[in-house]
């Protein structure tokens, strides 16, 4: 069986959860006897592909230079179609949302839908943001759709009126973060802290976490709030902090690689995940795998991932966020319970299992 993954996401993402997922899926598939896997990305900027097994990649890595993004994307898309036709695949997995298929082979086309964030939270995106419309086009023409959570499947059924037989839920895996011996104290000093990871704008609800942290004299007096992510604190975020009476020594941003993130998880008193919506949510699994207690929202797919291994709050209620964090941090027994539950919970999610369940659908469609 020959499977092709198209170039879309690899011409757009240098790093990112979607390209990591596709790479992990292809890598696992390539180990199955009788399965021939190719990621057809004639020109790409993706670091995961750059480091992947060359046997599963057709294409070349190019540097991402200013004002070249559209050119790279267009050239890769044009080449992807002709290259894939010569390969004569049995099935094509489209890696993101497009109005028309890049690989126009007369074989089953499948798609993964990660979330319905643009549809649920349109105010978090500009009026000209095209993803929702492109997603609708891709969904309508796909022969089968993978959803990364039951929550995504329910949203897709509700918003696009799709028959359930066209949908399959396949939970994601996660990658063990590198542990290099780096200590959190080197990054943020010795004082205790709670940890926030990833995006902070809009539905990610970082402002709700800031308000909850500031509302508790006990929290803000005994713990710092460390934010890990690519972007430094914005002027708006610093303005909100000032308005809440929080100083730059209380709320700290740290960027960098996975070795730093692993050190911060291991050193944190707890990991707090205040997002109002997630299609899946890998950070809680990363935290649990490194014995960091998880305190998180009770909405969307998050309870599916975290299960009984987290302390939950209502992300729309500041008092709820504050109370849940205080409840965990004021109880060493509860923290230890969450750590023990988390160690077992994260074992349920692996790329191997994700690939096995995905391949079963491929084989059924390609018969």
Q: Residue 85: what pLDDT?
A: 80
CA–centroid distance for 225 within its chain? 22
Q: Which residues contact 219 (CB under 8 A, 6 or more apart)?
A: 194, 212, 213, 322, 325, 326, 329
DSSP per-residue codes, 141-174 = H-SEEEESSHHHHHHHHHHH---GGGEEE-----
Please indicate whether the domains covering 2-173+350-366 and 184-348 agree at the CATH topology level. yes
Structure tokens at 357: 């369940």
Q: Domain 2-173+350-366, what architecture? A: 3-Layer(aba) Sandwich (3.40)
Ranges of residues in the chain with a pLDDT under 70 are: none
Cα(335)–Cα(327) distance, integer angstroms: 9
Cα(70)–Cα(48) distance, integer angstroms: 20
Q: Where are the domains of the chain?
A: 2-173+350-366, 184-348
pLDDT digits (tens, 9 = 90+) for 327-357: 999 999 999 999 999 999 999 999 999 999 9
Pairing verdict, β 251-254 and 270-273:
unpaired
Cα(16)–Cα(21) distance, integer angstroms: 9
Query: Counting beta carbons within 10 angstroms of the beta carbon of residue 50, is it exposed (0 to 12), middle (13 to 18) or buried (19 or more)?
Result: middle
DSSP, res 309:
G
Q: Residue 37: what pLDDT?
A: 96
Cα(189)–Cα(191) distance, integer angstroms: 6
Q: Which residues pair with 60 in a beta bridge?
A: 43
Four-way CATH pick for 184-348: 1.10.3720.10, 3.40.30.10, 3.40.50.2000, 3.90.660.10: 3.40.50.2000
Q: Residue 22: what pLDDT?
A: 96
Other C-beta atoms closer than 10 Å to the C-beta of 37 total 25
Instruction: Give strand ranges (E) for 291-340.
Output: 294-297, 310-313
Output the pTM of the full model.
0.92
Cα(182)–Cα(172) distance, integer angstroms: 28
Q: Residue 87: what pLDDT?
A: 86
DSSP-derived 3-state class of residue 228: strand
CA–centroid distance for 295 within its chain? 18
Q: Which residues pair with 254 in a beta bridge?
A: 228
Structure tokens at 319: 């008092």
Other C-beta atoms closer than 10 Å to the C-beta of 128 total 5
């Amino acid at each position: 069986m020959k499977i092709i993954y198209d170039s879309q996401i690899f011409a757009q993402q240098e790093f990112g959860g979607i390209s990591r997922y596709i790479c992990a899926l292809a890598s696992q598939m390539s180990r199955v006897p009788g399965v021939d896997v190719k990621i057809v990305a004639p020109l790409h900027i993706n670091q995961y592909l750059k480091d992947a097994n060359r046997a599963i990649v057709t294409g070349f890595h190019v540097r991402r230079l200013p004002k070249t993004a559209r050119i790279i994307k267009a050239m890769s898309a044009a080449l992807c179609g002709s290259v894939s036709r010569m390969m004569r695949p049995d099935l094509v997995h489209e890696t993101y949302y497009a109005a028309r298929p890049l690989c126009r082979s007369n074989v089953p086309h499948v798609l993964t839908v990660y979330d319905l964030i643009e549809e649920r939270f349109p105010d978090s995106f500009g009026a000209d943001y095209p993803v929702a419309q492109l997603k609708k086009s891709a969904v309508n023409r796909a022969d089968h759709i993978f959803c990364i959570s039951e929550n995504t499947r329910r949203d897709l059924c509700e918003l696009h009126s799709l028959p359930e037989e066209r949908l399959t839920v396949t939970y994601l895996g996660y990658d063990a973060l590198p542990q290099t011996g780096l200590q959190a104290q080197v990054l943020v000093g010795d004082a205790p802290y709670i940890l926030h990871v990833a995006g902070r704008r809009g539905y990610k609800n970082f402002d709700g976490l800031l308000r909850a942290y500031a509302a508790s004299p006990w929290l803000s007096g005994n713990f710092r709030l460390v934010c890990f992510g690519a972007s430094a604190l914005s002027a708006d975020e610093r303005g909100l902090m000032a308005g809440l009476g929080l100083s730059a020594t209380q709320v700290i941003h740290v960027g960098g690689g996975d070795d730093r993130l692993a050190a911060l998880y291991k050193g944190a008193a707890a990991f707090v995940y205040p997002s109002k919506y997630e299609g899946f949510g890998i950070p809680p699994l990363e935290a649990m795998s490194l014995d960091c207690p998880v305190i998180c929202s009770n909405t969307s797919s998050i309870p599916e991932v975290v299960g009984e291994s987290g302390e939950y709050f209502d992300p729309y209620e500041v008092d709820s966020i504050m109370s849940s964090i205080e409840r965990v941090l004021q109880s060493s027994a509860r923290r230890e319970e969450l750590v023990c539950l988390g160690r077992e919970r994260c074992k349920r999610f692996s790329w191997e299992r994700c690939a096995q369940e995905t391949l079963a659908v491929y084989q059924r469609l390609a018969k």
